[in-house]
Amino acid sequence: MKALLPLLGILGTLAIAHGSAAQGSGSYASVNGVRMYYELHGDGFPLVLIHGGGSTIGTTFGRVLPELARSHRVIAVELQAHGHTADIGRPLSFEQDADDVAALLRQLGVRQADIFGFSNGASTTLQLAIRHPEFVRRIVVASTMVRRDGAYSWLWDGLAHAELTQMPREYRDAFLKINPGSSALRTMFERDVARMRSFRDVPEADIRSIQAPTLIIIGDHDVVRPEHAVEMYRLLPRAELAILPGGHGEYIGEITTVRPGRHDYPGLAIIEEFLGEAGARNTNADARP
């Protein structure tokens, strides 16, 4: 079960009540057939938050969102079958999620934004930078890989036999607070597992095509091998790399990694500094929704 915790983190840290996040407005937008839930927090240059697979805004970003909202216009999304956004009977893919986020930004009138994705959300972030570079200024890709061999073999072994009953109770109970009844939970879980089982390597040419400045951040006990993070750093034309102590998302207080009494998340300062390098030079007020 200990080995499955990081696995379920990459499948997703499931829905948690948003009480730990900064107060913001929740809304829905119709994008590509999906009624997508999103929240707006704070003010400043737009920063899009894309949660991990199976997760929501609160479980992935609830501990750091209040601080991010102090200096950014945060646009936090929940993707198909996750949290408040219902499933529509469509298989999940990182490419489709990227297209959905781009459609949302277009509807909101956001011409350009910084994008911060965690785990599966980081895979979506990479696809957004590849498929819709016009919307992207800077990207933060946290705890993700671009090749199957970038993760430890136990991840794929666990996915081959993943069952809903193995999900930690905290994840299951939190998801059910938003979506009463087990059918939505099972649908989300099965879709995420299916997507990860069929994970395909991202072509090197696509990775090299990303011109947006990129911060790669992982934990040294993550599901991603540190060596692979270095490989990603070498492939991306304008990359920075941070490898911090801890597990999958511990550096931002992802819900499965929270320690009692801890309120400091070292990844936050690194992410803020990276985003601030551009923010100091480009306020782009017209981009704010």
- DSSP class of 44: S
Q: Are 103 and 48 in contact (CB under 8 A)?
A: no
Cα 68 to Cα 122, 167, 178: the distances in Å are 17, 29, 24
Dihedral of CA atoms 83, 85, 89, 93 in degrees, nearest 10, equals -80
User: What backbone phi and psi angles, to 5 degrees, belong to 68?
Assistant: -60, -35
pLDDT score, position 21: 41
Instruction: State the CB neighbour count (10 A cutoff) for residue 237.
Output: 12
Give the span between the Cα atoms of 217 and 246, in whole angstroms: 12
Q: Can you name the CATH fold of 4-278?
A: Rossmann fold (3.40.50)
Structure tokens given for 198: 């069929």
Dihedral of CA atoms 30, 36, 40, 41 in degrees, nearest 10, equals -170
CA angle 150, 152, 155 (to 5 degrees): 110
Domain ranges for the chain, please list them: 4-278
Q: Report residues of the chain scoring pLDDT below 70.
A: 1-24, 168, 170, 278-289
pLDDT score, position 172: 75
Q: Are 142 and 223 in contact (CB under 8 A)?
A: no
pLDDT score, position 279: 46
